[in-house]
Structure 1
Amino acid sequence: MTHIAVLGSTNMDLVAYVAKAPQRGETVTGREFRTIPGGKGANQAVAAAHAGADVSLVGAVGADSFGSQLRSTLEHFGVNTDHLRTTEGPSGTAHIVVDDEGGNAIVVIPGANGTVTSLAPGDEGLIASADALLLQLEIPLEAVLAGAEAARRHGVRTILTPAPAQFLSPQLLSAVDLLVPNQHEAAALTGFTDPRGAAAALLEQVPEVVVTLGAEGSLYAARGAAPITVPAPKVTAVDSTAAGDTFVGTLAVALAEGREMSEAMVWASAAASVSVQRHGATSSMPYRSEIDTQAGA
């Protein structure tokens, strides 16, 4: 079975559903509130597990009720949590507002995630045993760099989601094989609002890029090759919170299984299109059979 390692965040998502998100200084009445396990690391881990991989998560939760719930939820979804530390203090939280068009605005409080500043004993061995390492930016950058460099030492493919968007050092980018920003992150990293222009600029720093384009699909670019655009299935979105993480987790599994990039992108787009039709993060992610059905539709 394909083995995916994930080094990243685990948050409890506190989600408010509203007709329209409030502007600064405005108060609105929501219609529903949910508490849903999430965090970009946990999200990508669950997405990969649902897609059929053996998945291990490296990170931290707090010594609180959220931490216990996050760990048990991950284990329920088949994610190995042997390398998920428990630290003193609160778990990470994400405060999310979702509007009637499926759009969202998010405030992340790192909590325990902020304590992950380096690899713990055994983490590098876990990474070395994986077919791919998934990274994001909701834990300190020094840990992201340590994970990427460990993967590079052992010849493990590294896939980085640069979210939340921030400056990425040449040292980190030199250890990344595939960068997967959304179009807003790609623009923030390069200054190019056109996804093709942004992808071309990013190829000066990493060998491969997939820019996710929301309802418009995704764009792949690699050094020395013509760009590829894969459209997304047409669906009605109700909550886009974990669409990007669903895409990345599923894409990693497809690539680790040896699929060509274009086929892997179709499969990942199918998974994301299912997730946006459901509420929540980990609760929205489709299983392999559902992805196969959507991809073949």
Structure 2
Amino acid sequence: MDPLDLMLRQLRAHGTVAGLSALSAPWTLRVAGEAAITLIAPAHEQIWIQHSDSAGPVPVEPRQVALVRGPEPFFCTDQPRPDGHDGRTGRVTPVHEIGPGQGQPWPLPELSESTPSALLGVGFYRPSGAPSTRLLAALPPVAVVTESPHLPPMRSYLETEFAKGMARPGIQTELDRLLDWLLVRLLRDWFDQPGTQPPGWYLALSDGIAGAALRFIHTQPDRSWTLASLAAAANTSRTTLVTRLRDLLGESPLAYLTQWRMELAADLLSDPGSTVAAVARQVGYADEFSFSTAFKRVRGVSPSALRTG
């Protein structure tokens, strides 16, 4: 399992919104926060996304998909509208809200029965683990991905399913899982897109030496790794391994190992049935004391305090 695999296991679609309601200009949607990533896919017309962390409104064309980083709310509009006014009429545009809500999606409003200017597919992804924060940190506030050739068939299928409505047994789970697959493809396309600067851990996966070391760290965090044993497992020298990971990740192999172990430990400690001693063993520490010391140094709080807080 590589870093992207684990991070994606902890991001799951939740409450896909059937997005074939008619949105006739002028329209504004406020997308509520809470989601780690929100997927926005316009079908016919260009839309604009206004996020507080972006320099300005971001255009999204048909056959593009926007991945919007949360949890801050943002606006989706038919034209740039930073002040809420319609530039063509001067009137304030009514704002309609959607979002994951309290476990149930809010439906896209039927703003018009006429030919729509925009049809939106929307999916919400909630985080369920600390390692997913690495993935979120690697994304800009709004990542716009141009669809690669393998995506249009899936988009067409999703649009067909949306059009059939949500009042069918199992349809919510089906659409959520399809969007899980779509997120994996879109993230890979984004990181491989020209002009994008992927994070070091993503680049390291395609490196023969660094990638091998990361996979050992991620699949065997409970092993008593030393620099020598990790270098031997990756079939390289200690000097080469240190140089390669510093170049790609900006940190040493053992520093990365410690950070990863503490992220996994934070997730394991969230389980009410876990104990500090058991978690210590699962992330490669022989005793509770040394684990607690390392955890507090990295996370700024003791394992016991994290559990009770």
TM-score by length of 2: 0.22
Larger Rg: 2
Determine which structure has the larger strand proportion and give its number: 1
Higher relative contact order (CA 8 A, sep 6+): 2
